[in-house]
Amino acid sequence: MTAQLCLAQEPEADRLLSEDPFALLTGMLLDQQYPLEHAFRGPRKIADRMDGFDIHRIAAADQQAFEELCSTPPAIHRYGRSMARRTQDLARYVLEHYDGDTAAIWTAGDPDGTEVLRRLKDLPGYGDQKARIFLALLGKQLGVRPAGWERAAGAYSEPNSRRSAADIVDQETLLEVRAFKKEAKAAAKATGK
C-alpha cells in the first residue's frame, strides 16, 4: 500500500494506516458507534502502547492485559475492552486463514470483487456494509481494483460520493461524509426505517 490515507486526521496514525494493511483493517473494524477519525486512530494507540503494531503480538497477547491496554484512556474506542477482544479475534483470523498476510485477503489467488467481498464479510466484526465500504476504500484510494469491485461494493464505489470512509481524503471530505450520514439517519428516522 503506497497511497497516503487521511482517515485518522493525524499524520502518524494515517501513516500507520497507509503502511500496514492490518492496521487499516483494524481501523475499519473500530469504525462503529464512534467518530470515524477516532476509530482510525485506534491502531496507532495500540502501536504506541505495544512498541509497534504487530499482528502476531496482538494475537498472542494475554486477553486481560490487551483489554487493559486498549481501554486505558485515551481508549481505542468507546467500548475499549470489547473492541480489544474483536481486534484480537481479527488478528487470529488473519493469522489462521492468511498466514498473517492481510493483503492476501484481496490479492491471494487473483480474486474478483465478489470474492474479495466474501472474504471481507468472513472477517470477525465485519458485516456486509463494513465489507462493502472497505472494498470501496481499497478501490478508490489504494488502487486495488479486482474485476467487478464496483458492483460488489455497490453505492460505496460511486465516484465523487461522500458516503463513507472510502471517500475521505482530507478534513473537508470527512465533514461531507459526516453530513451525508446525518442526513441519511434523519431520512431513515422520518420514514420509520
Model pLDDT, residue 80: 93
| Nearest partner of 141 among 122, 161, 121, judged by Cα | 161
**Class in CATH terms, 11-191:** mainly alpha
Model pLDDT, residue 42: 98
- Cβ(23)–Cβ(16) below 8 Å: yes
Peptide bond into 74 cis (omega under 30): yes
Contacts 24+ apart (CB under 8 A), 144-147: 144/106, 144/107, 146/106, 146/110, 146/111, 146/112, 146/113, 146/115, 146/116, 147/112, 147/113
pTM score, whole prediction? 0.94
Model pLDDT, residue 188: 83
Model pLDDT, residue 119: 98
Question: By three-state DSSP, how is residue 177 classified?
Answer: helix
Give residue for cell 473500530. Answer: 30
Model pLDDT, residue 39: 96
What are the residue boundaries of the structural domains of the chain, listed by start? 11-191
| Nearest partner of 39 among 191, 174, 186, judged by Cα | 174
Instruction: Give average pLDDT by consecutive 10-residue segment, the chain, 193 residues.
Output: 86 97 98 94 98 98 98 95 98 98 97 98 97 98 97 96 95 94 86 74
- Residue 4's φ and ψ, nearest 5 degrees, are -95, 105
Give whole-number Cα distances, 108 to 26, 93, 111, 188, in Å.
20, 16, 7, 38
| Nearest partner of 149 among 163, 132, 127, 130, judged by Cα | 132
